[in-house]
Structure 1
Amino acid sequence: MTASPALRPSAFTDAELIGSGRRVAEIEAQALQSLARRVDGSFAAACRLILASHGRVVCTGMGKSGHVARKIAATLASTGTPAFYVHPGEAGHGDLGMITDKDVVLALSYSGESDEVLMLLPVFKRQGNAIVAVTGRAQSTLAREADVHLDVSVEVEACPLDLAPTSSTTASLAMGDALAVALLEARGFTADDFARSHPAGSLGRRLLLHITDVMHAGEDVPQVSEEATVSEALVEMSRKRLGMTAVVDAQGRLSGLFTDGDLRRMLDDTVLDLRNTRIGTLMTRNPKTIDARQLATEAARLMETHKISGLIVVDEERRPVGALNIHDLLRARVV
């Protein structure tokens, strides 16, 4: 079988391919700029409907609009607005049972005339569901029948044939993101709230892991008194294997820090009497510290900012209660 000429590898140059890609990005960027001007009172009304609801947001749509609806549902759910996707074709065969009268329906159809979506409207209306329509045609059936219409119309698709949904799906997706973020801010959704719905992976580690989860505590915290010799401090550092030791005063408060890096630099500059030199004369005073209640990511930020590899964890009275180094953060996959 001979392939259609349209399906054969073309003689496009790299410059032509790059130009095509850039043209798509520019067309879609223009569509988003136009969309921003249409985020208006109708958008606020849609947000009010969802905020007032005691149910969930049911996202639905066919074809490419269905794919966008799935993503919007996922974004809403992860940012504090319970939501899920229902395929409009399956809804008529039993999945409508998942939708309660407390739910708000977010229906996507660029034409506003998708048969599978329109078929569900009488059911939603009988049940008392508020309907937010996302379409590109303000005079379409879906837009007219909805309680609120969000206009995502675009002047032209990025597809040169003006057929494949491109600019229009980008605009619909952006409208969904705009809803999710506006609702997030209105609810006062915090990073801790976000972490509770993202316990796995790097997001969960960044947002849930605290200093207490990674630090060495109790007898594992390296510390010596100001009166200890350099030799005694080195023994403590070797025993605790963190490459540093806290130096404390007579009341047990942090006076300073001594690290293996400090030792190397001093050995380069002078001859030390390790058995008779007091560590209090060599330590770094007022070292960077961290509170046990802070996130582990804050420790990573401090280490990176100040080019250090370890931190002493102190309480309100500056008594050492823990210690950690960059290797602890690496093992916890915080960095």
Structure 2
Amino acid sequence: MTTSEPVADTNLRRSASEDGGWRLFRGAGERREVPFPPAPPWRRFDQQEPSSGSKAPSSGRYLIGPDEADVVNAALHLRRPLLVTGHPGTGKSSLAHAVAHELALGHVLQWPVNSRSTLQDALYQYDAVGRLREAALRRDTEPDIGQYIRLGPLGNALVPRERPRVLLIDELDKGDIDLPNDLLTIFEEGEFDIPELTRLPEDQRAVYVQSDDPGDPIPVTHGRVRCREFPVVIITSNGERDFPPAFLRRCVRLDLPEPDEQRLRDIVAAHLGSSALGDIDDLLREFLDRRATGELATDQLLNAVFLRKGGVDLDAGSLLQAVLHRLGGAL
């Protein structure tokens, strides 16, 4: 009498040969080391810009219409913040990286705003406790205060330079209701004071504080940081609430539209190559139909096309629903 092979093991080996290796996780409890496939181009974190050492914005070019590009140029010429609105996934945050990349302005300074964000944190942080602890250890000499002051993303953007930096203030509408008004003086004056330094004696006029580059401390004289060129400030908003008129007056506004079918094809080709366009008509129709009844992001379409290009059957089970799920409302 022979013992039959367990049905589960038979199905496991059959699925391994039939799925082309796409099922890295099988949920069967079998421990094994498998090579990971290449990540989508927009989810690769080892891409470095030769000039700045920062992560490259994307493997594909940023696609924007001429009318929208003109609004960006208006903000650049006027030295005004650019307030970018639009549905999730229309490329609001990516625009900052595209501008920095195309104009060779180095890596983007990022300030992701949430309900606890304050203007103080965006300008600088002072580690008073760390300095007191160091002073207690030394006893005979006072530690340099500049070692305990680190500029935040907005503070780094206002450091005087020959060429401006790009600052992304992401999702400002998620912040405190007073935060836009707190920014008004900074946007108008292009400067701020560090009170801990303004109180120093005259013989300590210049203090080197820590910047976003650990190897490049920034000299601050009389406790004041004042920009030479106003930074390229790009502010994103999902439209969750309105901003005060005084704040809006100081911004140039850009509303990014949802890409139409042709623009979606161009975006797919830019990220995945023109060969990816050969078998996506059904995915495009499904994406546009779902987007008409609820919010979807463009990168959700890219995810679906990437999986399809890798040989994944998106019609299997609820996989397409998982990839093209609505962004708003109850799950």
Q: TM-score scaled by structure 2?
A: 0.27
Q: Which has the higher contact order (CA 8 A, sep 6+)?
A: 2
Structure whose residues are more often helix by fraction: 1
